Amino acid sequence: MPAKRYVLTARAVQDLRQPRAWSRARWGEQLTNQYFIDLHAGAQYIAEHHASSRRRDELAARTGLLLYPVREHYLVYEPIDANSTVIVAVIRQGRDVPAILRKWGLQIRRELDEIRTRVQTGKIVVPSRSAKRRCASRPRSTRK
């Protein structure tokens, strides 16, 4: 049975940049790293258990997207096949999530359609667990 994995859209990657920088400045490297480990664990949980997740239609703004809370954020996602889930956005829980999803809805749908097509044609391969471990164990850049 193939491993269930997730991929991030460009929107989701962008959504993670600001909280990482803010968290580093406020809480330091160690706590920030733990927060992002928790976000990763939440995304992996979604990939493996999305069928049993509770729908949050009141927050999804009739977009059909699913939301999963992880600490102070919602991971917004959509399963695209039996083994692949796409994290389309990461939104802080205190924000107006429905308004944000309505605003980004068209862009998110376009990105999802493109990713779905690229996964189905093999142009995007959802990384295996061992590939993620190799990436995580690479030495970090020393740029300042």
Domain map (residue ranges) of the chain: 5-126
Q: What is the pLDDT of residue 127?
A: 58
pLDDT surpassing 50 at residue 9: yes
Identify whether the C-beta of residue 67 lies closer than 8 Å to the C-beta of residue 100: no
Residue 91 CB neighbours (<10 A): 19
d(CA 120, CA 76): 21
| Chain mean position to CA 128 | 16
Identify whether the C-beta of residue 61 lies closer than 8 Å to the C-beta of residue 98: yes
Average the pLDDT over 4-12 and give the result: 91
pLDDT surpassing 60 at residue 142: no
- pLDDT (tens digit, 9 = 90+) per residue, 61-97? 888 899 999 999 999 999 988 888 999 999 999 999 9
- pLDDT (tens digit, 9 = 90+) per residue, 17-63? 888 888 899 989 999 999 999 999 999 999 999 877 777 878 888 88
Given CATH 3.40.50.1390, say whether it is the number of domain 5-126: no
Flag whether the pTM goes above 0.85. Answer: no
Tell which wins on pLDDT, 139 or 92: 92
pLDDT surpassing 80 at residue 130: no
pLDDT surpassing 90 at residue 1: no
Average the pLDDT over 123-127 and give the result: 70
Q: What is the pLDDT of residue 137?
A: 32
Strands of the chain (E only): list them: 5-8, 66-70, 73-81, 84-92
